[in-house]
């Protein structure tokens, strides 16, 4: 007996790599998706800039249009895969106000205009799903929003940019320079022609803003996310970290923090950090992504997989489409964004971390005592002090410099970022320090 399903009209905005794969899956898996949803998902059109452009997938030509507005107004579900801020923002608002639900993978738009879009959806009972906006195929948005809704997330450590992870992994495993590793990433298609968004940490910061807002029920503006990229990471730092049992990763860190005065707040930050090789994130190689969640009751959870790729990201998009379509069948309003907590956003100076500092110092009696006193004045406790002469460091020094200076590697205990940063400034102007050669934070310990 053939089951007759109701029909849901799906409009797709964007026919690029991900969009083409979403369209293919909707067309090829239509009957299977209908059985899962309880309704037919009809792809009614694909809005693009140029209907004659070459596509990565062979799709029916009559699906393509340049009239996005007309397509949106006739849809029950709108999938936005255009990227950028405008016209994507206006198209999503039009979809919401016309009664459609929205699926998007647009991290830049959500990080910048998320509160506006979620407020518009809440006003009319619409739904915005965005699983593919954070870590490609990895399911992390829905677990945070639904599976862990009864728990309290304490901390998120995320490798959420495949390009930078590929580069740092090559520097660690092959001894490549950042320049050579970036060139390889570009050749393999992991890096854009202009890699600034990736290596500068901007992409990861957008994802950190989304994750922090979701995990801590607090609106976290992109401007509040502290950001450092990997541009200054050197082979010498990578080697020094490896020797000490660490690997360098670009981390997006979202954390619920209680400061010295007992005030609860939220921190969202992105920077390269040393991670112990025993930590699960240290084993994330190549262009893969991973998100490590620490929750009050559930404990430590790891989400790992492909952070990009057309068909991989399309999987996350289709998961959101099925979820929304099921709501249409069941009825009821969409799930609103949860921002009830509205905790204060702490700047980087109020968070607690550890530093690994490499110093070039004069090779004379009393230097260690002087260095220790600098840390002591800022109430920063030392966990490790060792003299190091790695081949990479030695190769940069003349014979005279090698005899006149020594290299100290110093690890700290936990301290506030403000105290640690001030200590480094003090060291840079101290008479026994000839150079602050390297500063990296230590996370995951």
DSSP assignment letter at 203: H
DSSP assignment letter at 224: G
On whether the CB atoms of residues 283 and 141 are closer than 8 A, the answer is no
Q: How far is CA 268 from CA 227, 256, 337, in A?
A: 9, 9, 18
d(CA 306, CA 289): 6
d(CA 297, CA 405): 50
Q: Which two tokens stand for residue 441?
A: 């934070």
On whether the CB atoms of residues 355 and 442 are closer than 8 A, the answer is yes
Nearest to 309 by CA among 323, 292, 288: 288
d(CA 68, CA 46): 8
SS (H, E, C) 340-407: CCCCCECCHHHCEEEEEEEEEEECCCCHHHHHHHHHHHCCCCEEEEEECCCHHHHHCCCHHHHHHEEE
Nearest to 205 by CA among 220, 194, 191: 220
- Residue 365's CB: how many other CB atoms inside 10 A? 6
d(CA 212, CA 208): 6
3-state secondary structure of 141: helix
Q: How far is CA 180 from CA 177, 183, 187, 242, in A?
A: 5, 5, 11, 19
d(CA 139, CA 134): 9
| DSSP E strand stretches across 56-188 | 64-65, 77-80, 101-104, 128-129, 153-159
3-state secondary structure of 269: strand
* Residues labelled as active-site residues: 207
Q: How far is CA 174 from CA 165, 166, 171, 237, 392, in A?
A: 14, 11, 6, 14, 15
């Amino acid at each position: 007996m053939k089951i007759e399903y109701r029909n849901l009209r799906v409009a797709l905005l964007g026919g690029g790599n991900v969009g083409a794969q979403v369209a293919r899956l909707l067309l090829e898996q239509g009957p299977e998706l209908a059985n899962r949803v309880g309704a037919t998902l009809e792809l009614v059109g694909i809005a693009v800039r140029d209907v004659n452009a070459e596509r990565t997938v062979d799709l029916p030509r009559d699906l393509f249009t340049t009239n996005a507005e007309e397509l949106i107004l006739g849809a029950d579900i709108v999938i936005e895969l255009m990227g950028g801020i405008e016209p994507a923002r206006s198209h999503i608002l039009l979809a919401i106000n016309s009664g459609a639900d929205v699926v998007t993978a647009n991290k830049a738009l959500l990080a910048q205009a998320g509160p506006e879009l979620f407020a518009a959806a809440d006003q009319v009972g619409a739904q915005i799903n965005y699983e593919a906006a954070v870590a490609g195929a990895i399911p992390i948005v829905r677990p945070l929003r639904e599976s862990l809704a009864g728990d309290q997330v304490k901390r998120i450590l995320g490798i959420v940019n495949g390009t930078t992870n590929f580069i740092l992994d090559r520097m660690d495993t092959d001894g490549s320079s950042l320049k050579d590793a970036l060139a390889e990433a570009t050749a393999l298609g992991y890096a854009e022609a202009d890699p600034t968004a990736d290596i500068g940490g901007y992409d990861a910061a957008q994802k950190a803003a989304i994750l922090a807002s979701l995990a801590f029920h607090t609106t976290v503006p992109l401007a509040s996310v502290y950001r450092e990229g990997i541009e200054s990471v050197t082979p010498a730092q990578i080697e020094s970290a490896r020797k000490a049992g660490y690997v360098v990763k670009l981390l997006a860190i979202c954390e619920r923090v209680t400061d010295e005065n007992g005030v609860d707040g939220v921190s969202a930050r992105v920077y390269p950090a040393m991670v112990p090789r025993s930590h699960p994130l240290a084993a994330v190689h190549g262009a893969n992504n991973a998100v490590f969640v620490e929750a009050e009751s559930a404990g430590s959870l790891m989400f790992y997989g492909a952070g990009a790729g057309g068909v991989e990201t399309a999987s996350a998009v289709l998961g959101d489409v099925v979820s929304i379509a099921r709501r249409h069948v069941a009825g009821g309003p969409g799930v609103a964004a949860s921002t009830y907590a509205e905790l204060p956003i702490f700047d980087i100076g109020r968070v607690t971390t550890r530093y690994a500092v490499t110093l070039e110092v004069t090779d004379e009696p009393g230097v260690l005592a002087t260095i220790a006193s600098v840390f002591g004045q800022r109430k920063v406790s030392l966990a490790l002090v060792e003299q190091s002469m790695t081949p990479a460091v030695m190769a940069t020094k003349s014979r005279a410099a090698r005899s006149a200076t020594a290299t100290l590697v110093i690890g700290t205990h936990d301290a506030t970022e403000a105290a640690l940063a001030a200590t480094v400034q003090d060291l840079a102007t101290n008479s026994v320090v000839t150079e602050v050669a390297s500063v990296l934070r230590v996370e995951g310990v």
